[in-house]
Structure 1
Amino acid sequence: MMPSSKFRRRLEVPQYLYEQLQRIAVNESRTIAKLATEEAHRWGHSYVGTEHLLLGLLADGEGAAARYLHDRGVQLDEVRKTVERHIGRGQTPVSQELEWVPRARRALALAVDEVRRLGHGRVGTEHILLGLAREGQVVAAGILDRLGIDLEQLQQRKLTALSQLD
């Protein structure tokens, strides 16, 4: 089911990108974007940020990004505890449609850029992880750094290791 054009405009994600993201099948055809939104709701946040994208990648559990992170000791529960400590829970009721922060939108755009640069045919979870790494000074990058993931090394290795996981 394709989200409304109003929802896509809020994401500020082009149609072709949203269609690519829709192809990432996780947990009975939910997308990483949907999982990220669910995480934002879970935390009572009024926005979807890079931390929610990271949580969505890990909640997927089966994609290349989740496997890459799990192989390096990063677990969903640990990331949730880190979010709790550093960001906390929201205090106000959250509306159904959440605003995506500019850096989260940019991380998705960088994921699409990785696909183009590498000549891959689809946006995979590994591309979203690389998009988060390339965006740099964002909440998700700080969390990964605290958990021992070297983002510079991840970017240098590109998809060599990640694509082998798929």
Structure 2
Amino acid sequence: MTIDDQRIDAILVISRPERATDRSRTSIRLAVESADEFADSCVDSCHILCGLLREGQGVASHILRRQFDMTLESLDAAMVARSRIDNPDELVIAPDVKIVMDSTLDFATRLNHSYFGTEHLLAGVIASSTQSAMLLETLGLTHDAIEHEIIGLLGHLT
């Protein structure tokens, strides 16, 4: 098992991995690859955001690209410009990833979904106090606007 596989498993084990769709798993794999590309030793919520956009086929990518005109170039530029968290303990997964995964499952539960897809991960990424939520705000995207688009696309909230 590679170090990337270990990091992917470490992220999925926070949630209920059996509920992850193939696209959400792909997004998490791309998040780990994103951390490598940015030479970050620790995967954080911003890398999950990158993974969602890079996945390219899921609901999250659709919302980010079509509804908010986000591009890989604009996100990569924001990633380069952002503040990094210190990693004194050599963490492999940042603490805000747990917030993302908990929020992902909460959102799926609110919708009575037995799975979590990229749309649920996007809802997790915009959770307050995550680095990804702060990064999205610097790009002019708010929690409420993104959640509104997710609900609008899915067509319901129970």
- C-alpha deviation, 1:8, in angstroms: 7.0
When residues 49 and 6 of structure 1 are mapped into structure 2, their CA distance, relative to the original with a 3 A threshold, is closer
Give the AA of the match of 1:160.
I
> What residue is the counterpart of 1:18 in the other structure?
17
Which secondary structure does the structure 1 equivalent of 2:77 belong to?
helix
1:9 & 1:59 partners in 2: Cα distance?
Answer: 19
Query: Deviations along 1:125-163, whole A, 9 cap, x unmatched?
Result: 111111122x212221122112221212333x2742232
Please list every run of 5 or more consecutive structure 2 residues that lacks an aligned counterpart in the other structure.
Answer: 85-89
Which secondary structure does the structure 1 equivalent of 2:146 belong to?
helix
> What residue is the counterpart of 2:72 in the other structure?
76
Query: Deviations along 1:90-122, whole A, 9 cap, x unmatched?
Result: xxxxx9xx7111111220121011111210131
> What residue is the counterpart of 1:130 in the other structure?
123
> What residue is the counterpart of 1:35 in the other structure?
30
> What residue is the counterpart of 2:140 in the other structure?
148
2:8 & 2:47 partners in 1: Cα distance?
Answer: 17
TM-score w.r.t. length of structure 2: 0.79
Query: Deviations along 1:11-66, whole A, 9 cap, x unmatched?
Result: 3725x722222x2337xxx6211110010011111110011000000001111111
Percent identical among aligned pairs is 26
Query: Do 1:130 and 1:158's aligned partners in 2 also have CA atoms closer than 8 Å?
Result: no
When residues 68 and 45 of structure 1 are mapped into structure 2, their CA distance, relative to the original with a 3 A threshold, is same
User: Number of matched residues?
Assistant: 147
When residues 119 and 77 of structure 1 are mapped into structure 2, their CA distance, relative to the original with a 3 A threshold, is same
2:23 & 2:9 partners in 1: Cα distance?
Answer: 22
When residues 49 and 7 of structure 1 are mapped into structure 2, their CA distance, relative to the original with a 3 A threshold, is closer
Aligned-CA RMSD value: 2.9
Which secondary structure does the structure 2 equivalent of 1:127 belong to?
helix
Equivalent position to 2:103, from 99, 102, 110: 110
Give the AA of the match of 1:49.
D
2:30 & 2:41 partners in 1: Cα distance?
Answer: 15
Which secondary structure does the structure 2 equivalent of 1:142 belong to?
helix
Please list every run of 5 or more consecutive structure 1 residues that lacks an aligned counterpart in the other structure.
Answer: 89-94
